[in-house]
């Protein structure tokens, strides 16, 4: 009688956590950024048109806040130091203070604009931790609502976002014009 080769199972063993495969994410694993690609967080003084193109909501002396061009949800922000550093221990005390204030003010403005049920706030330090831009640290702020995750990212490799980046920018930009003046 011929022996059957066991098939690999997608079911976890009893008691093991379930697995969710996301093969479309493999494009990001182990790939360095394209040659000549500058850091999205590093820029000097820029005008209104460049701010809108770069999705920068506010650029203070030591920190900046901008929309994520590839958001997980509408209102997905990134807060970064102006100085190109990879990890928080490399920041000065003054930079840490301004970054903390920017994060707090960004949370306040996201709550006012979107009324989310919660927010994810965090940083991925290093490519292995999930940082797409590993050599310039930044925090992600992602508004969340009950039931905001659905089958579309899994089945269709597609996120459903009800608001365009231009609409998000238009909604949030006026709220962020005063972020550095209300820090004192």
Nearest to 87 by CA among 125, 123, 121: 125
Tokens coding 178 = 């005063």
Say which of 76, 136, 138, 140 is annotated catalytic: 138
Q: What does the buried/exposed string (b/e) look like for 17-49 if buried means 16 or more CB atoms within 10 Å of the residue's CB? A: eeeeeeeeeeeeeeeeeeeeeeebbeeeeeeee
Q: Tokens representing 53?
A: 């193109």
SS3 89: helix
Active site residue 138: yes
152 exposure class (CB count in 10 Å sphere: 0-12, 13-18, 19+): exposed
Catalytic residues: 138
């Amino acid at each position: 009688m011929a022996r059957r080769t066991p098939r690999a199972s997608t079911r976890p063993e009893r008691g093991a956590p379930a697995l969710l495969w996301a093969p479309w994410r493999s494009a990001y694993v182990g790939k360095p950024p394209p040659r000549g690609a500058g850091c999205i967080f590093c820029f000097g003084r820029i005008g209104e048109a460049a701010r809108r193109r770069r999705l920068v909501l506010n650029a203070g002396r030591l920190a900046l806040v901008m929309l994520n061009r590839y958001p997980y949800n509408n209102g997905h922000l990134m807060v970064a130091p102006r100085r190109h550093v990879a990890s928080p221990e490399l920041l000065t005390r003054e930079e840490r203070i301004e970054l903390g204030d920017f994060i707090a003010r960004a949370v306040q403005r996201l709550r006012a604009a979107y009324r989310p049920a919660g927010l994810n706030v965090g940083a991925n330090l290093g490519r292995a931790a999930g940082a797409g831009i590993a050599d310039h640290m930044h925090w992600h702020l992602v508004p969340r609502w009950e039931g905001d995750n659905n089958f579309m990212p899994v089945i269709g490799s597609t996120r459903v976002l009800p608001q365009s980046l231009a609409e998000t920018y238009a909604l949030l930009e006026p709220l962020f014009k005063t972020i550095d003046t209300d820090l004192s």
